[in-house]
């Protein structure tokens, strides 16, 4: 039940995979704050709660070593736990607990201070009914009630010709102890299932921004906003719930951003009937203009194009940003010598799986006035070429992001605490420009599951 200690660490550190290929000369730039939601189904095997109970409840549960107590009842008894305590999920958001017991009893028969003692050993199964409620102050409250006995072998004292059943005597004693045992169980649960300090610790871990790329001086800052939890649901061998967290992620480049002030009290969460099995998160993939330029050069450099039966070749080409537009600057020679500037707004083309230019504009700078008459022909040819052929492939970036996220989603971060997840769909959405490159914000659909086993 130590999972809350590192639950936030799993959620925040590992769901925001960044593909960082920013140029080393990247200027300081603050990316937009992105609101994301995480939905994580949590599975708690009842064996984990059973292990907790078995650890806290010793083998010798009860012992009465006096013949003269309880109004000189001339009765001694010892009660042991014979096997592990067993838990199963009930039908009314409750747990059914079975405690198998071996009981040794010795009874004195006689009068006037002269007694004959006979002992016997028998077995029973003590039953309990436990209800659990998760409070929004990060504590789980249990209420355990007795649920009777089931005799495996009934207690009988054998005096040869006289056999004395002592079931009623034993039961009255055990019922009293069973009520006390309920309080012991609830006290142990209250101690073990108080997660407030862990929630504070985990929340404050993220007051400090994470350096996700030392080489490119890139920082990730996580701000948890609201936490939602679905009611606990009980099945035959496990408890299920889902945790939904609204968070903001911010990516910074350059100097480390300021940290948030640590909290001293765990923030409350709200209950919500249902949360979707899949969730949406957003990651970013960065393409420096140096890489965009290399793509353009591989496509167009030294290629020749015919205009009016003459040739035009591209001798150099580079890509950079101007305001909200990507600028392609092509140096040409031949029939038209000069610099052609084609700019456009970057958008994601889902068919081509590329970042392409839309709303293109054209401008030609040349010192030869006569060449300007060919501008319209040249414009139509080169603009069409750029629109149809030039694009920044995103498939590799998307696959890299998918692998990074799934690697983070499928690990055992702590002994007995396993996390598994799958990415279903990644799609670049918003395209952002900054002085050194292009950032694609990638919408990601995924699911995530947390399983506790063997803590």
Instruction: Give residue 328's pLDDT.
Output: 93
**Mean pLDDT, the chain, whole residue set:** 77
Region 79-91 average pLDDT:
84
pLDDT at residue 77 is higher than 60 = yes
CB 390 within 8 A of CB 356: yes
Instruction: Give residue 10's pLDDT.
Output: 35
pLDDT digits (tens, 9 = 90+) for 284-302: 777 889 989 999 998 888 8
pLDDT digits (tens, 9 = 90+) for 169-205: 777 777 887 888 888 788 877 877 777 776 676 667 6
**pLDDT band at residue 127 using 50, 70 and 90 as cut-offs:** very high
More confident residue, 52 or 315: 315
Domain ranges of the chain: 46-192
pLDDT at residue 157 is higher than 70 = yes
State how far the Cα of 181 lies from the Cα of 127, in Å rounded to an integer.
11
Instruction: Give residue 15's pLDDT.
Output: 35
More confident residue, 305 or 32: 305
More confident residue, 94 or 58: 94
More confident residue, 188 or 104: 104
pLDDT at residue 2 is higher than 80 = no
Instruction: Give the whole-number percent of the chain exceeding pLDDT 70.
Output: 81
Q: Which of 25-29, 147-151, 261-265 has the highest mean pLDDT?
A: 147-151
More confident residue, 403 or 83: 83
Q: Which of 76-80, 108-112, 340-344 has the highest mean pLDDT?
A: 340-344
pLDDT digits (tens, 9 = 90+) for 355-381: 999 999 988 887 665 555 656 667 777
């Amino acid at each position: 039940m130590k999972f809350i200690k590192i639950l936030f660490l799993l959620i925040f550190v590992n769901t925001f995979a960044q593909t960082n290929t920013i140029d080393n000369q990247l200027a300081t730039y603050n990316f937009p704050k992105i609101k994301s939601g995480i939905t994580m189904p949590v599975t708690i095997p009842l064996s984990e709660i059973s292990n907790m109970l078995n650890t806290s409840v010793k083998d010798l549960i009860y012992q009465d070593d006096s013949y003269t107590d309880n109004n000189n009842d001339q009765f001694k008894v010892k009660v042991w736990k014979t096997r592990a305590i067993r838990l199963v999920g009930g039908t009314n958001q409750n747990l059914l607990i079975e405690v198998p017991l071996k009981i040794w009893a010795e009874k004195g028969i006689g009068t006037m201070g002269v007694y004959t003692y006979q002992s016997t050993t028998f077995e029973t199964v003590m039953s309990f009914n436990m209800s659990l409620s998760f409070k929004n102050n990060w504590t789980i409250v249990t209420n355990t009630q007795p649920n009777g006995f089931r005799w495996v072998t009934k207690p009988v004292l054998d005096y040869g010709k006289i056999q004395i059943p002592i079931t009623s005597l034993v039961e009255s004693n055990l019922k009293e102890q069973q009520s006390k045992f309920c309080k012991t169980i609830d006290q142990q649960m209250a101690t073990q299932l108080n997660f407030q300090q862990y929630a504070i610790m985990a929340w404050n871990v993220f007051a400090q921004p994470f350096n996700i790329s030392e080489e490119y001086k890139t920082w990730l800052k996580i701000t948890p906003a609201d936490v939602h939890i679905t009611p606990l649901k009980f099945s035959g061998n496990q408890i299920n719930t889902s945790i939904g967290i609204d968070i903001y992620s911010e990516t910074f480049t350059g100097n480390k951003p300021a940290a948030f002030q640590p909290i001293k009290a765990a923030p409350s969460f709200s209950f919500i009937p249902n949360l979707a099995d899949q969730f949406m998160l957003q990651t970013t993939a960065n393409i420096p203009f140096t890489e965009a330029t290399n793509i353009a050069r591989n496509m167009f450099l030294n290629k020749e194009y015919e205009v009016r039966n003459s040739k035009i070749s591209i001798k150099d080409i580079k890509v950079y940003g101007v305001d909200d537009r990507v600028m392609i600057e092509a140096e040409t020679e031949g029939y038209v010598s000069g610099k052609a500037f084609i700019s456009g707004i970057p958008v994601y083309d889902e068919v081509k799986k590329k970042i392409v230019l839309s709303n293109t504009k054209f401008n030609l700078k040349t010192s030869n006035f006569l060449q300007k008459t060919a501008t319209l022909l040249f414009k139509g040819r080169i603009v069409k070429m750029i629109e149809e052929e030039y694009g920044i492939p995103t498939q590799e970036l998307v696959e890299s992001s998918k692998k990074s996220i799934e690697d983070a989603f499928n690990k055992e971060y702590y002994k007995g605490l396993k996390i598994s997840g799958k990415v279903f769909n990644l799609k670049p959405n918003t395209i952002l420009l900054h002085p050194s490159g292009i950032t694609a914000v990638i919408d990601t659909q995924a699911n995530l599951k947390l399983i506790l086993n063997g803590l």
